[in-house]
Structure 1
């Protein structure tokens, strides 16, 4: 053997030097984005800004979808089912924003129609008018 180090130690040192850049790159590529996401989330949380859509936007979507559901003017069954599903999701989202119990959230199958009525009534009781007057004047 030439030199004062054993061959095995030299081989281990070579592997360490060869693998270090790859391991460092992998760790940085995993850790840095996670740290940046946490910092951005913490900054956003400290600002006190709402994280989702405003109540006004959700109620506007709810009223628009309600008009579509009540009009029954969808040309296909798939469109009718999609509009009704969007209406149900928006009802549950609105209930979450105004802290009202939403029976529709846990209903399934044939119970959904009745749960939808209960949820609409709960929102009306909470002060959200689902069918506001169109021009502000009451019909005689």
Structure 2
């Protein structure tokens, strides 16, 4: 009989200690707050008016979007975010060029970098002369254009 009482007292003591630890760490309050948030969301769902059905964009029977006609003479432009990401990527690649890299690859990287800088300048309406200056003066024009792009709000180096 005494062994049974001691076992029950030991089990109760362990449960009380676990409850105190959960209270001290804030787990009980966290669970209570989570339960309240769930009840509030359920109540909001029950009392909220039904949402109007969303309209899908009009599509062509073949699956193409139907929209206002675009001028075929205008070149398609990429979003500024994509151009900015390319500028940052190419800036990092040019900064990390290894010493034994072939000159053709380096020139290709510089040509791609120039193209992306010119595209960013066109999107932000920044004046540049990168395509007009001779190759020996291009690095200075690149630096000036990067400064102008940063002044216009483009984040180049990160």
TM-score (norm 1): 0.57
Aligned to 1:57: 82
Higher radius of gyration, 1 or 2: 2
Aligned to 1:109: 135
Structure 2 residue ranges without an equivalent (≥5): 1-67
Decide whether aligned partners of structure 1 residues 128 and 79 sit closer, same or farther in structure 2, where only a CA change above 3 A counts: same
Aligned to 1:71: 96
The alignment status of 1:122 with 2:148, answered yes or no, reads yes
Aligned to 2:48: none
CA contact (8 A) 1:95 1:123 kept: yes
CA distance in 1, matches of 2:148, 2:138: 15
Work out the number of aligned pairs and report it. 88
Runs ≥4 in structure 1, deviation > 4 angstroms? none
CA distance in 1, matches of 2:134, 2:108: 16
CA distance in 2, matches of 1:89, 1:108: 15
Report the aligned-residue RMSD.
2.1
CA distance in 2, matches of 1:90, 1:96: 10
1:112 is displaced (CA, Å) by: 0.5
Which residue of the other structure, out of 117, 121, 124, is the alignment partner of 1:95?
121
TM-score (norm 2): 0.51
Aligned to 1:12: none
Secondary structure of the residue aligned to 2:130 is helix
CA distance in 1, matches of 2:148, 2:131: 13
